[in-house]
Amino acid sequence: MVNFESRDRKRGTPGDAMSLWYESLGYCLMDSGGDLLKEARCILEHLSMPVPRSWWQWGLEHGCIHKVYVDVLRDLQKTLLKLPELSGFRDFGLMIALAFIDDDAEDSPVKFGRVDSAYSLQDYVLSAKMVLDARHDLKSLARLIEKDQKTLPDTSS
């Protein structure tokens, strides 16, 4: 696992919130007991949380993405693609869109970006597609990832 503790926040690099998010994701995946459906749910819930959203907002503002975020996204994508019903997540834009699906659910007590969310895997897919259709700026971030350009290097040691 990558150590996210000591990073420069001015460059949009991982910090304490990323560490807690990553730790939560790790525990959730361990608790899944190797059940692929539970792992996928865990990943979708975590990609719908505010921490990944901050990655993409920073990327939209600065026109680049930190390599650590790209690496995390690619690793999580490998697990999601093991399930045929999640094949749409070959598109990084769809994975990025997950971070914005709670925008319309501000007043709702049920959120996508919560552990043990009540939403189905299909709900995540459909909601992410709706966000991506409405947010063309997120597609530009996906293109950066697909081309592996304009990523800030990992500066941790």
DSSP string, 95-149: HHHGGGGGGGGTT-S--SSSTT-S--HHHHHHHHHHHHHH-HHHHHHHHHHHHT-
Q: What is the pLDDT of residue 24?
A: 94
Q: What is the pLDDT of residue 4?
A: 36
Q: What is the pLDDT of residue 109?
A: 61
Q: What is the pLDDT of residue 38?
A: 96
Provide the CB-side half-sphere exposure for 157 (13 A, CA).
0
Q: What is the pLDDT of residue 15?
A: 57
Residue 58 contacts residue 40 (beta carbons within 8 Å): no
Torsion of CA 40, 46, 49, 54, to 10 degrees: -110
- Rounded Cα distance between 50 and 84, Å, is 27
Residues 6+ apart with CB under 8 A from 43: 25, 29, 76, 79, 80
Tens-binned pLDDT, residue by residue, of the chain (157 aa) = 333 333 334 444 555 667 889 999 999 999 999 999 999 999 999 999 989 999 999 999 998 888 889 999 999 999 999 999 999 999 999 999 999 998 765 666 658 888 888 899 999 999 999 999 999 999 999 998 888 755 555 544 4
Q: What is the pTM of this model?
A: 0.82
Residue 113 — φ and ψ, nearest 5°?
Answer: -85, 50
